[in-house]
């Protein structure tokens, strides 16, 4: 009766990593010990990261989705979908989602929210003043000028994967395009068949195995950075697509507000580990080759969507 396993985050007994490093100057006896440096877990590395490795979540670029169970914090991705993000901000300021609901929950795929009656004449909620009702598709962006923190790991879905603006992303050197990857927690804009039929009013969040087949086929607009555990447990709707049959089954949304429109005392100040920091690079390597007494095989690989993007409460000054 063995309780606490498998581990994902908290190895208890870090063991030695069997990679020899050379320490030219130390004495032989000492060198033997030093030659096998202690394996440092991702958590140890992240806990020891300097303040400069962390970036503040920008309230002007952050949504608070208030559910009865608590707050979901979303970082928007204006670098990937500037027009959708601007429109979403307009709608949030106008209280568009306040009192609306999550009306779809499809197991191992997405939850989707917005106006469930949006397509029924006479029932659809009016868009706030200033909302644009036609936007271009923003499936990809020009990779030029975007800092790409590339992973060395191969990926079946894209020629290159890594991080842009702190978001899991992919890049194609041939086309010069980059795009967000549909990892767990990714926020995207639902659309109809026409590529340019989304405006950001109806949104979905990936809640299962990364649906990477959606990459470059919808406009990804951001990522949940805190509170995924509130969205992922929303009861599933009926198969195959998870739309609830009855309005009372929907999960209500109290409000979605831009963090900068919320009084400072009511905000959730967060920091994210920079994907170009040494701590992030080292922590990812510690996961790629985890040999900590429980895990014994240095796997030598990590999938883009298995790389955690560490978040912490902003430390008091």
Name which of residues 210 to 239 contact a copy of itself (CB under 8 A).
210-218, 228-229, 232-236, 239
Q: Compose the 13-32 pattern: x for residues touching a copy of itself by CB under 8 A, - for all others.
A: x-------------------
Stretch that binds a copy of itself, among 77-85, 192-200, 246-254, 262-270 (CB under 8 A): 192-200
Please select the residue that binds a copy of itself; options are 55, 93, 94, 294, rule is CB under 8 A. 294
Number of Cβ within a 10 Å radius of residue 44: 15
Please select the residue that binds a copy of itself; options are 32, 52, 175, 197, rule is CB under 8 A. 197
Q: Which is nearer to a copy of itself, 34 or 48 (CB)?
A: 48
Q: Which is nearer to a copy of itself, 76 or 183 (CB)?
A: 183
Check binding of 9 to a copy of itself (CB under 8 A).
yes
Q: Which is nearer to a copy of itself, 156 or 315 (CB)?
A: 156
Q: Six-digit token pair at 99?
A: 């009192």
Q: Compose the 272-291 pattern: x for residues touching a copy of itself by CB under 8 A, - for all others.
A: ---------------x--x-
Check binding of 83 to a copy of itself (CB under 8 A).
no
C-alpha–C-alpha distance, residues 23 and 31, integer Å = 6
Check binding of 208 to a copy of itself (CB under 8 A).
yes
Q: Six-digit token pair at 211?
A: 């649906």
Rg, the chain, Cα only: 22
DSSP letters spanning 194-244: STT---SSSEEEE-SS--GGGTTTSEEEEEEEE-HHHHTTSPP-STTT-B-
Please select the residue that binds a copy of itself; options are 40, 202, 205, 286, rule is CB under 8 A. 202
Hey, which residues between 103 and 162 contact a copy of itself (CB under 8 A)?
A: 103, 106-110, 112, 114-119, 124-125, 153-157
C-alpha–C-alpha distance, residues 265 and 74, integer Å = 18
Hey, which residues between 33 and 72 contact a copy of itself (CB under 8 A)?
A: 43
CB of 298: closest distance to a copy of itself in angstroms?
Answer: 10
Strand 186-189 vs strand 219-226: parallel, antiparallel, or unpaired? antiparallel
Q: Which of 84, 78, 109, 86 is nearest to 196 (CA)?
A: 84
Burial label, 2 (beta-carbon count in 10 A; 0-12, 13-18, 19+): exposed
């Amino acid at each position: 009766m063995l309780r606490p396993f498998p581990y994902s985050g908290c190895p208890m007994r870090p063991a030695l990593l069997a990679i020899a490093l050379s320490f030219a100057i130390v004495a032989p006896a000492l060198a033997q010990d030093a030659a096998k440096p202690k394996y440092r877990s991702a958590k140890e590395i992240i806990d020891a990261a300097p303040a400069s490795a962390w970036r503040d979540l920008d309230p002007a670029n952050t949504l608070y989705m208030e559910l009865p169970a608590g707050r979901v914090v979303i970082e928007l991705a204006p670098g990937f979908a500037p027009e959708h993000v601007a429109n979403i901000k307009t709608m949030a300021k106008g209280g568009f989602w306040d009192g609306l609901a999550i009306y779809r929950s499809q197991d191992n795929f997405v939850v989707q929210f917005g106006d469930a009656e949006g397509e029924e004449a006479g029932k659809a909620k009016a868009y706030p003043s200033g909302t644009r009702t036609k936007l271009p598709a923003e499936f990809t962006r020009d990779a030029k000028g975007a800092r790409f923190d590339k992973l060395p790991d191969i990926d079946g879905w894209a020629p290159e994967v890594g991080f842009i603006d702190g978001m899991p992303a992919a890049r194609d050197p041939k086309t010069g395009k980059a795009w967000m990857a549909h990892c767990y927690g990714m926020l995207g804009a639902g659309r109809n068949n026409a590529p340019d039929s989304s405006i950001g009013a109806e949104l979905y969040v990936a809640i299962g195995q990364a649906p990477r087949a959606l990459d470059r086929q919808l406009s990804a607009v951001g990522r949940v950075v805190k509170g995924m555990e509130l969205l992922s447990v929303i009861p599933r709707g009926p198969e195959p697509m998870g739309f609830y049959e009855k309005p009372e089954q929907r999960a209500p949304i109290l409000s979605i507000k831009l963090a900068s429109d919320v009084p400072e005392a009511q905000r959730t100040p967060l920091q994210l580990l920079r994907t170009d920091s040494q701590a992030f690079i080292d922590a990812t390597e510690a996961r790629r080759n985890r040999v900590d007494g429980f895990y014994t095989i240095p796997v030598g690989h990590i999938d883009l969507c298995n790389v955690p993007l560490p978040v912490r409460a902003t430390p008091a000054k």
